[in-house]
Amino acid sequence: MGTTDALDRKLKEYAAGDYYPFHMPGHKRTPIFMSNPYTIDITEIDGFDDLHHSEGILKEAQDRATKLYGAQQSFYLVNGSTCGILTAIFAAVPQNGTLLMARNSHKAVYHAAYLRNLSTIYMNPCMTQAGISGSVSPGEVERALAENPKIDAVILTSPTYDGIVSDISSIAKIVHRYGIPLIVDEAHGAHFGFYEAFPQTAIRQGADLVIQSMHKVLPSLTQTALLHLNSTRVEPRSVEKYRDMFETSSPSYVLMASMEKCIRMLSEDGESLFRAFKKNLDEFYQKAETLSGIHIMNNGDFTREEVYETDPSKIIISVRNTKINGSRLYHTLLERYHLQMEMVSGFYVLAMTSIMDRREGFLRLFEALLEIDGEILKQPPNPEEISFISELYTPKEKRLELYEAMDLSTEEVSFAQAVGRISGSTVNLYPPGIPVLLPGEVIDVNFIKNIRKCREFRLNLQGIADIINERINVARF
């Protein structure tokens, strides 16, 4: 068997190479934690507590997280933010209730709506002139709540995958006037609130339940996350009940130990780590101003109406004013410079950074972009080339609730036959895993056109039955 025929061997080979990780997890493959994980991989033995009934060392660990983030109560999650999202929605919304949700929510929110038999009302983030999804406005939340008095809770994503932050403080006040809880999927914002250069965490802005992925932007192992309870609008016992249901019954002590190590790092060395991180980011952004065609997006690319705030740790590298597209840039950075980006879209790539990134990495990225920039000619953008991603996320006609549509039988038909039919599957771009089409929504001509564009741009579109032969699943009545 060759070295690339097995995952463990391939990972070992990859770790020995020179690929630099501008992607999650936030530890950036830096060995800061432990030696051989097999030596500490235990179960609930004497002296090591039980996450599902924590009274000792694990209770103390979660209490430290509570104190660090300023929450009312914090829960360790080893099933990722998905576990926290499912828990939060089940605890806050009754069976057969109504959920007001941002349309750019992670697929886990839709899964919760299906499992809980919820009616869903969507809020649409502003589409910016720069071509990416912006914030959910307080006015959009107010309008939806005023028009739909049966709403039981509100959930939105802030920051988004691209680092776009909504005005959580204003939104929380609006939601609370209606006497219901606000849930914030802050999976990409576990670093918020630790340094003035970054946005404030939703925990301190009035959100009732906040979910954070520690592994996305902090030095913690993949699947580690936190669920913060921050008010009395949701019963703590209800949160604990559903957390126990969705959390694995065999929580990994290796993962929990990495969370404890991360919390301790933030408590003891957070200020110096974030100061150095900000210095590296500032140097990169300053140098990037010398690029002529390639553009690093920032607050200046958006109006305040479009975007409330941005997270500078998410580096959005745009080529919309050049003759190349995002896919071409992504693959050039990977294949020629061994720089692995987090995500590629139609006209940009996303580099995820964290406190564990090294100055060497930022320099490698800038030098690569400078060289590529010199090879491409600046030219006016082609609107068709840059708009299809935003068009993918435009609202679709909803004929059925998710829980109704997902239990229907389906059939596979050609793209041409699918127009006007109801989708039988969830289709999403991954990453980030945000659905562009849901069961119960109508497939239209523009959607078919844009998924063909995704294939052309080599984007990872999931949920299409056979994208090469143009086949898709539709509901059968």
* pLDDT for 151 beyond 90: yes
Q: How confident is the model at residue 1 (pLDDT cuts 50, 70, 90)?
A: very low
Cα pseudo-dihedral 171, 173, 175, 177, rounded to 10:
-150
Q: Please give the pLDDT value at position 127.
A: 87
Ramachandran angles phi, psi of 140, nearest 5°: -65, -40
Which two structure tokens, joined as six digits, stand for 192? 């918020």
* pLDDT for 155 beyond 90: yes
For the chain, give the percent of residues with pLDDT over 90: 86
Ramachandran angles phi, psi of 20, nearest 5°: -100, 135
**Helix locations, 289-382, DSSP H:** 326-335, 359-375
Cα 365 to Cα 328, 348, 370: the distances in Å are 16, 15, 9
Q: How confident is the model at residue 387 (pLDDT cuts 50, 70, 90)?
A: low
* pLDDT for 182 beyond 50: yes
As a whole number, mean pLDDT of residues 193-211 equals 97
pTM of the model: 0.94
Which two structure tokens, joined as six digits, stand for 277? 């991180």
Amino acid at 445: V
* pLDDT for 2 beyond 90: no
Q: Please give the pLDDT value at position 391.
A: 80
Residues 415-460 have pLDDT tens digits of 999 999 999 999 998 878 789 999 999 999 999 999 998 888 888 8
As a whole number, mean pLDDT of residues 335-363 equals 96
End-to-end CA distance of the chain: give it in Å, rounded.
Answer: 49
Ramachandran angles phi, psi of 145, nearest 5°: -70, -40
Residues 296 and 281 sit within 8 Å (Cβ to Cβ): no
Q: Is the pLDDT higher at 118 or at 380?
A: 118
Residues 330 and 460 sit within 8 Å (Cβ to Cβ): no
Residues 295 and 145 sit within 8 Å (Cβ to Cβ): no
Q: Please give the pLDDT value at position 360.
A: 97
List Cβ neighbours of 47 (8 Å cut-off, separation of 6 or more): 56, 57
Comparing 193-197, 336-340, 362-366, 387-391, the range with the smallest average pLDDT is: 387-391
**Strand ranges for 162-281 from DSSP E:** 164-165, 182-185, 209-213, 225-229
Q: Please give the pLDDT value at position 379.
A: 61
What rounded mean pLDDT belongs to the chain? 94
Which two structure tokens, joined as six digits, stand for 294? 């390639």
* pLDDT for 358 beyond 80: yes
* pLDDT for 367 beyond 90: yes
* pLDDT for 3 beyond 80: no
Cα pseudo-dihedral 172, 174, 177, 180, rounded to 10:
-50
Residues 395-419 have pLDDT tens digits of 899 999 999 999 999 999 999 999 9
Q: Is the pLDDT higher at 369 or at 377?
A: 369
List Cβ neighbours of 164 (8 Å cut-off, separation of 6 or more): 125, 132, 133, 134, 135, 158, 307, 310, 311
SS3 state at 193: coil
List Cβ neighbours of 439 (8 Å cut-off, separation of 6 or more): 400, 402, 405, 406, 408, 422, 423, 424, 425, 426, 475
Residues 265-314 have pLDDT tens digits of 999 999 999 999 999 999 999 999 999 999 999 999 999 999 999 999 99
Residues 43-70 have pLDDT tens digits of 999 999 999 999 999 999 999 999 999 9
Cα 252 to Cα 7, 78, 84, 248, 259: the distances in Å are 20, 7, 16, 9, 11
Q: Between helices 107-115 and 80-92, what is the axis angle to 10°?
A: 40
* pLDDT for 5 beyond 80: no
Residues 322-340 have pLDDT tens digits of 989 899 999 999 999 999 9
In 3D space, the residue among 221, 211, 197, 168 whose CA is nearest the CA of residue 41 turns out to be 221
Whole-number Å distance between alpha carbons of 82 and 427: 18
Ramachandran angles phi, psi of 470, nearest 5°: 55, 65
